[in-house]
Structure 1
Amino acid sequence: MSAALDLDLCDAAARPVIGGAEITALAGATSSREAGAVRELTSIIDGIDALARGTVDSLAGEELLEFSSLLAKAETKIGALRADALARVNETGDWQNAGARTVDEYERQVSKTSLADSRKSVKRAKALKNDLPTFKEDLSDGEISVAHVDVLTKVIQSPALKEQLLDPDDGEAQLREAAQTMDAGQFEKRVKAWVIKHAPKRSERMAREKSKEERLSIVEDSDGWIISGYLDPINGKIVDSTLTKVMGVPSLGDPRGPLSRRAAALAEICDRAAQDSDEAGKGNGGAHITVQVPLETLVTAEAAAKLEEEAAAAEREQGAAPVEHPVLGPVLAEIRAGIDPDLFTGLEPATLDDGTPLVPSDLMTLLCDSRISKQIFSRDGVILDHGQAHRLCTPQQRRAVIARDRTCRFPGCHHTYQSSQVHHAVHWKNGGNSDIDNLVMLCWHHHRFVHRNDITIFRHRDGWSFRDGNGWEYTAHGRRRIAPSSDPSGSSGASAPSDQGAGGQGAANSDRSSVPTADFPPTESFFNTDAEIPF
C-alpha cells in the first residue's frame, strides 16, 4: 500500500508529503546503522572472549605489563561508552521497553549490580553528558578513570559549585589538569580542598553530618574480638599516626605482619592509658599530627575576623549594656569558637600532611592546643625560613586552667585534664599570652563540638554558659532557647522548652555550668601545626 502520509496535521500544505517508500528507506538506513554498531560490539566481545581463553597464562615480563596497561585503558574507554549509552537510554525512554519502572532499575537489570550502584552509574552518565563533557573526552581517551568522574559527580550537585566550574582561573580546566596527573584518591583530596575553598559553609555542614556517622564496634567472637567502624578524617589520622608510631619498625626475626603488629600496638596504647602516669601541666601524652596552613589563609581570614569583631564591639557600645545571666551573674569574659567559615571563602584550606583538606572549624580546633612553627618555601620547594615552634598556651597557663577548671567545662561533662585540651580565645598571632579568663578546659569531643557548632562561651562570676548563634543555650539537661532577659550579649530571643539531650549531654553537674588582602612575595608560606590529641 503506497498511500501518502502527512505527518503535520495542522499544516498539511506547508510540509512536503513523504511517500511510504521513502519512510521505508529511512527506517532501513537507521536500522542498518544500529545493526552495524551491535555487530561491531559483538565482534569485540568475541575477541575479548578469545583473549580470555588462556592468553594471560602465556604472558610474562614487559609483554604482560603492557597487556595489563592496555586492558586498564580499554576499561576506561568502555566505561565512557557505557555512560554515553546509558545517558542515551535515559534520554529516549527506551528503558521502559525492557519492563523496568525506572532507568535505575533498567541499569540494575543489565549490569546485575545493586540498586545503589545502578543509581550511581545513572548519575555519572547524566553528569558526563550534561555537565562534564570535557571529562567525558578524557575518559574516552583513557586519561582518567571512572573513579575520577564519581568524585566530581558528588560535587556538582551544588548549583554554586557547578557554576564555579565555569571559572577560568579555578574551575573545570584546573580540575581536569589535576585529574590527568593524579590517581583517584589524590584527586578526591584535591577536589575536597577546592570545595572547602569555594564553599566553606557547605563544607562545614557536610563535615558535621559526616561526623555523626562515626562509630566503633567491638564485638566478642568465639575466639577473640572483632573491631569495625568509621572515623572522620581528623580522628582517623590521630588513630593511624598513633598506631604507626607505637608499632614502629619490626625487629629482626619478628614473624608478625603489619596488621598483627598494628593490633598489638592498639592493645599497648590501651594498656598505657589504663596505667595513666601523666603529670598535670606537661600535656597529656597525645598523638602528634601535622597540619599545613597557607600563610595567606591565616592572615586574610584573621584580618577579616578582626574587622567583624570590631564592628560587633562598636554595635554593643552603642546599644544597651549586656544583661546579666539570671543565675550565673555578670559576664567576666567571652570566648568565641573561632572564625566564621564564610571568611575562608576563596582561600586555600589547611591540610594534613597527607594532603587531606580541613574545614575551617577543624583548623580552629587544632590551633587551640598546638605548637606553631613557620615554614617558608620557594615555589621550587626549597626551605627559605624555618621558625622555632611555640605554644599558644604555656605550661604555666595550662596548670592554672587545670587547677581552676579541674574537668571539662561543657555542661554535664566530667572528663578530667588527661582527656582534655585548653580552648583558646586569643588569635594565634597575638602570641597566646592571654589572661587566664580567656582560656577554658574542654574534653576533645566537646572542643570539636564547640568549634563545629560555633558556640560562644561566657565566663560569669558564678560559672560558665555555652550559647550558639542560633539562640540556643546548652545546659546539663539539654539545650533551651535563650530568653531575652538572660542573653549576655543583650540580643533578643524567645523562650522555649528545653531540647533534652541536645549536644549529647545527660543530666549532671548542673552546679558548675549554666542552668535551666595583602600582597605576598613569590614564595609559599605555611604554618605547621603539631597538635597534641589526647588518647
Structure 2
Amino acid sequence: MTSTRVIDQHRTVLASMRAALAAMPADLHSAFNDELAELLSEVDGVVAAATGLRAEVLLETRTRGVMTDSGMDTRGWILEYAPTLRQAGASPLAKLVDTVVRRTNIQAGCDYDNHELLFNRRSPLAIIWDSVRAGDADAPLAMSILREMDQLEPRLYREAVPTVTECMVSLGVAHGPAMIREMRMRLLAEHGRPDEVERGQRELDRHAFLSAPHPESGGLTRYSMGLTPEQAAILEAALGPLSKPRPNPETGDRDLRSNSRRRAEALTELCQRLAATDAARKGGPAESDTCVYVTVSLTDLENNTGAGEILGSRADGTLIGIDTVRKMCCDADLIPVVLGTDTEAIDHGMTVRLFTRAQRRAVWRRDRHCTFPGCDAPGAWTKVHHVRHWVDGGPTDLANAALLCQRHHSFVHQQGLWAEVNPKPDDAGRYVIWNLIPGSYRHAALEQGWARGWTAA
C-alpha cells in the first residue's frame, strides 16, 4: 500500500478550498445580515493565509535554486507561476525573498521558537519576514519597513532594534506605510542614540526645496515644495490663522472655499504683507525688492479688455486679467506701467495712485477692520481700496478709501461692487456701506456721470 505524502494532502485541501470559494457566491443570499461582516473577515483571513503561504513557497523555491536551474530570476518566476501578481506586487515580493535568502538562513516553515536556529530571529529582517509569512504584512509594506530599518538600525541602541521593528510592523499593518514614515523621528527620539534626532534634522536641511514656477496651459501655476520640520512649523503657524474658514457672522453664510483654496489665499496674503512691510520700510514700492511690475495698455485698462503682463520676476510674461490688474492697482506693493498707443510709458503710478502712510493710518483708525459686511479681519490684514478705482479717475483720499481683506478685495472687484463712504458712522459704527448687488459699481459710474470705457458700455 502506497502512503500519501503530507504535501499531497495539503494540495488536496487547497483544491477543495478553491472549489468551495468558487461555489460560495451562489449561496451568499442565504446568509443573514449579521453574518456578512463575520463572513468577510473569514474570507479575508483565508486570503491573508494564502498570501503568506505563497511567500513561503517562493522562499523554498528560491532556497533550493530551482529558479536558477530553469534560467529564470525570482521576478520572472513569480510572473510565470503567480499570474495574479502581474497586476501589481511581483517586484516587491521578488526583492523581499531575494533579500531574505541573501542576508539570512531563514528556511520556509521554520519554527521561530527553536533556539537552535542558525539566524537571529530578533533581527529586523527576521521579524519582518515573520509578519509576511503570517499574512499580516504584504511584500510592499515589508520592503518599506525594511528600508526604514536599514537606515535607522545604526542610529538606535542595539537592544531597542527589535522593539522598533515590531512597532513599525504593527503601525504599518494597522495604518499603512505612510504612518511608518511619520513615526520615524518619534521612534528615533525614544530609542535613538544621543543627538540622532538633531543630526537627522540637520541632514534634512540640504533636502529642503521650493521648485521654480511651472505655468500650465489652463492658467494655474504649480509649485512643489519640501520643508524641514522647523520650516514647516513656521509656515503652518503663519498659515493657520489666515486659512481658517470665515463664515459671515451677519448673514450666517458658511465659508464655501475649499481648504486648499483657503491655504493658497493665505500664502498669498502672507507674501503681500511682506511686500507691503518692505515697501513701507524702504519708503515706497519703487525702493522695495518685493514689488510687482505689471505692464498694461491704457486702452485695455479703460475698456476692461485684453490682459496685463507681469515683468521682472520668475513670473515674467505671465498674463493676468484686466479685472485683476484693476484690483492690484489698489495695492501699494504693485507698480503698474501703463502704456499709451505708441507703447510709451505714460504712468508709473508713483504719486497719485498710492495712499500715503498717514492716509493709511487714518483709514485704519476710521475703519478698524475689513469693511465688507460680516468680516472682522484686522486692519493689519487689509488693503486700502479705492472705492472709485484709481484707473477710473478715483482720487487717493479718505473719502474714496475703504479697508478690505484680500479675500473680500478680490470679491469686490469680481462682483463689481460699489460703496458709499460717509463722513460720520451709522448706528453700527460703519463709515463704509457696501452695495452688494453685482454690478453696482458700473451703476454708480453711470449715475454719477464719470463712466468711461467699459463702465459706459
Same fold flag (TM > 0.5): no
TM-score by length of 2: 0.40
TM-score by length of 1: 0.35
Greater radius of gyration (CA): 2
Kindly indicate which of the two structures has a greater share of residues assigned to helix. Answer: 2
Kindly indicate which of the two structures has a greater share of residues assigned to strand. Answer: 1
